[in-house]
Structure 1
Amino acid sequence: MLLLGGASGTGKSRVAYPLARRYGVPIVEVDDLVLAVQRMTTPEQQPLLHHWDTHPDAGRLPVSRVVELQAAIAEALQPALEAVIGNHLETDTPVVIEGDYLLPALAAQDSFDGQAAEGRVRAVFLHEPDPAQLVANYLEREPHEGEQRSRAEASARYGDWLAARAVEQGIPVVPARPWATTLSRALLDLGLQRDPELRADAR
């Protein structure tokens, strides 16, 4: 099982989908879990998970506050992620899970929802520290939104925070660029570069 984390705009999908295709495994996007939990709860029940919908003013907040909120939202989502990871461990079903709200502390756990990881869960975090590059990434992906400078600055700082926590946990951090080699570098840091089957070694 592979966990692919990193801040918004760093190119996680550029790595996650080729990884899933390479090993013939499904992919889980954390954003889909957020949407599911939001649909099943109210802002009163899960205020953090509904925060950006009920407070659509992130561009006006200090970057430090946005980073704090992103980390808090990620923490609130951890029980759902633990359940998903635990289920895949119990059923011995490999999967690639990617998203902004994957925390290094979660990836470093020894067990998930009562299921021992036993080396079957690997993680890597992509990192893009340059806000200008993130502006360009957003503009390519969402041209109708224009230049999202505030969002890019917050994403860069959240990415710095995630990378620092990953280093503390001994989890590989891969520079997002150059994109042509991101996948191969991620595989190398995951120890999968020569593994013929994800199912046999990283599920």
Structure 2
Amino acid sequence: MKFLEENLLDHLQRPEFAELHSVLINHKFSKGSYICQPGMGSNQVFIVVSGRVRVYLGCEEKEFNLGILTKGDIYSTHTGTFVQALTDAVVLMTDVKTFRQRMVGDPEVTKAMVRVLGNILKTSFTIIDGLAFKDVNSRLVALLSNEARRHGMSLEDGSVQIQIDLSVEQIARLVGSTRQTVSMLLSDLVRAGLIERPERGKFLIPNLSALESVGGVTLS
């Protein structure tokens, strides 16, 4: 899920925000490492410079994906979520107190943070609704559809390519199912010509509307 249409990094390049930019420190995270976890006690704000970062909740060996942060997205480490680098990632980070002091007079940064948290809340309700009222196939199609519409790359032939960077087991956790069930459902979608899997973590959707019709996806 891409949380912001604009790139917050471009905003921070403006001369009037040089002081705010100066307190943000570069941190590198290797693929699979955690930027933050529940109980870490840190109170930081960070902006993604490069890479893809997953935000999720974890409970009793189940994972509930809340979104994927990419270049220019902003987030906070004290939200009680797991934040994990899906790829090697670089973030600009500072503590919340310093960030708050420097961002006074910059309403665009404040609005960006509110939009991110609002989207997290919306996604949380979507997860609850899906687990309560939809079957596994519908939840899987909804996951693929959401990634395609918010983060996919449209190709000349009308198909959409998405890079999820998750194993089948991880995808199964996201949709509240088992690896075996999700693997079978993905194979069914491939046989039906609704998706293609050119390589691990990458999906090609020839006709997004046709895929969504199978899963009963309702666009918000």
TM-score normalised per structure 2 = 0.28
Higher relative contact order (CA 8 A, sep 6+): 1
Name the structure with the higher helix share. Answer: 1
Name the structure with the higher strand share. Answer: 2
TM-score normalised per structure 1 = 0.29
